[in-house]
């Protein structure tokens, strides 16, 4: 909190905060308003007398109904959920084990290996999808959820590994040493002591990995082709933008419904999530 006169607090604290919140939340507001606005209002020219961009007096569910009746939206939601969940679980499992090994086992070249894993995370997806497409074709995985479930870990595992490595390093090594003196093997010490203590870190990387795969676009666009296999981001953009015609109402409804599961997941774990990112382990 900024100390001092009222005008100082407004200039340096309140006004910047309001601007920041406005910039962050306005797109969501726009999305919601557009979802419930009838087409007649949406395509009204800006200089019309009754032009009213920020509010509607005739809310409608027609866009949401359109989404479920005229497109495979429910199917896309299920696809996205399934792919995101399975690839997150795979990546978390590998990331936790790899992160633990890199942080705790002093094997030769551990540092170099850690850096190498990080570098793979830096390879842009827009480059990587070309060789991956070849692999997907060779294994005949194209146009199936497994094409994504097996390719998402290419960027999720390095990500989880690095996040978990940092988190494991922040856990005092005496905890583990004490467990080992108490009669636990290294494996038991990891399972009974280190992993339970690292739960906030595991949840954070799980949430971020889930969001990354939920929102992923380019692999989903390249590896999936039939409408019933698509994920929400690809389905909405490929089926609701036809040529140069944007179906704004259903588009925004799709975006709104697509962001709800992520928002629920976040709000559910928000406390763990914050303490995971700030890495606080209290003894």
The least distance separating another protein from the CB of residue 187, rounded to whole angstroms, comes to 11
| Cβ atoms of 211 and 262 closer than 8 Å | yes
Q: Quick one: 21 or 178, whose CB is closer to another protein? A: 178
Contact 249, 183 (CB under 8 A): no
Residue 202 or 212: the one with the smaller Cβ distance to another protein is 202
CB of 120 to another protein, least distance (A): 30
| Residue with tokens 């109904």, as numbered in its chain | 65
Which of 85, 220, 77 has its CA nearest to residue 143? 220
Site residues (CB under 8 A) for another protein?
172, 174-175, 177-185, 188, 192-193, 196-197, 199, 281-283
* 99, 168 contact by CB (below 8 A): yes
Say if residues 202 and 273 touch (Cβ distance below 8 Å): no
Closest alpha carbon to 251 in 229, 227, 230, 235: 235
Q: Which is nearer to another protein, 57 or 106 (CB)?
A: 106
Q: Which is nearer to another protein, 43 or 109 (CB)?
A: 109
Contact 157, 94 (CB under 8 A): yes
Task: Measure Cα distances from 40 to 50, 56, 179 in Å.
Answer: 12, 11, 68
Residue (179 or 234) nearer to another protein, CB: 179
Q: Strands 245-246, 241-242: parallel, antiparallel or unpaired by DSSP?
A: antiparallel
CB of 166 to another protein, least distance (A): 18
Smaller CB distance to another protein: residue 70 or 271? 271
């Amino acid at each position: 909190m900024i100390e001092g006169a009222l005008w100082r607090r407004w200039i340096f604290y309140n006004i910047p905060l309001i601007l920041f919140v406005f910039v962050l939340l306005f797109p969501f507001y726009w999305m919601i308003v557009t979802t419930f606005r009838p087409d007649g209002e949406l395509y009204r020219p800006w200089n019309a007398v009754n032009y009213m961009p920020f509010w509607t007096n005739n809310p409608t569910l027609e866009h949401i109904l359109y989404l479920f009746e005229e497109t495979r939206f429910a199917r896309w939601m299920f696809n996205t959920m399934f792919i995101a969940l399975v690839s997150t679980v795979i990546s978390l499992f590998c990331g936790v084990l790899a992160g633990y090994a890199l942080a705790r086992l002093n094997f030769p070249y551990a540092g170099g290996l850690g850096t190498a894993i990080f570098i793979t995370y830096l390879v842009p997806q827009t480059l990587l999808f070309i060789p991956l497409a070849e692999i997907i074709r060779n294994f005949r995985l194209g146009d199936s959820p497994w094409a994504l479930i097996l390719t998402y870990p290419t960027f999720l595992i390095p990500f989880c590994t690095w996040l978990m490595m940092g988190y494991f390093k922040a856990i005092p090594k005496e905890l583990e040493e004490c467990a080992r003196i108490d009669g636990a093997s290294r494996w038991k010490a990891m399972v009974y002591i280190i992993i339970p203590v690292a739960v906030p870190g595991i949840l954070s990387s799980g949430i971020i990995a889930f969001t990354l795969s939920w929102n992923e676009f380019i692999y989903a666009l390249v590896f999936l082709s039939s409408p019933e296999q698509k994920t929400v981001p690809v389905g909405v953009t490929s089926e609701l933008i036809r040529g140069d015609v944007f179906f704004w109402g259903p588009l925004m409804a799709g975006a709104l419904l697509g962001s709800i599961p992520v928002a629920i997941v976040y709000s559910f774990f928000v406390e763990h999530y914050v303490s995971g990112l700030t890495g606080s382990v209290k003894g």
